[in-house]
Amino acid sequence: MSEASLLDWARSRPKPRAIICDIDDTLCTGFDCPILTAVKALAALDRSIVVHYVTARPEGSRAGTEQFLADHRLPGWRNLHFCPSWKSTRQHKTEVMARLAREYQVVVSVGDHDEDEAASVAAGIPFVRVSDDTLEQTWAEVARLVAAIVPPESREVSG
């Protein structure tokens, strides 16, 4: 197979589906106090959806963050994207989301901050913003977007 046809083949393959989620003030407050609506919605996601966490947290908070995900049985603990000390959080989020948008079909990005929105929009990813007053609607919207993209017959039952 030539290099060109190999590239064509790679491009024609369907990309895995993913959602991107911010952590602080989206999934939890005060580092590890869960926002229950968010945690429940994420834990209930169809298992065919890959979850990536794009966070302003530094690498040093990995252990605590993994513990939080484990405590609440949240998917995607391998997909934590911490902010390197030499980058601004805006630059970090923008770069990671651009890369994820190439590798995945990103259904939606969820966050609480302008920075999350700017990075998502720049990568061409639909964005929904959480706030205290719109928590239920936001996560219902995420579930709706996911349901629209995952055909019922392909849904994986989570164990």
d(CA 92, CA 61): 16
- Least distance (Å) between residue 120 CB and Mg ion: 13
Residues engaged in binding Mg ion (CB under 5 A): 22, 24-25, 112-113
Strand 105-111, strand 17-21: pairing: parallel
Report in angstroms the alpha-carbon separations of 121 from 46, 67, 152. 24, 30, 28
Nearer to Mg ion, 25 or 141 (CB): 25
- Least distance (Å) between residue 48 CB and Mg ion: 26
d(CA 140, CA 121): 21
Nearer to Mg ion, 26 or 46 (CB): 26
Nearer to Mg ion, 46 or 112 (CB): 112
- Least distance (Å) between residue 159 CB and Mg ion: 30
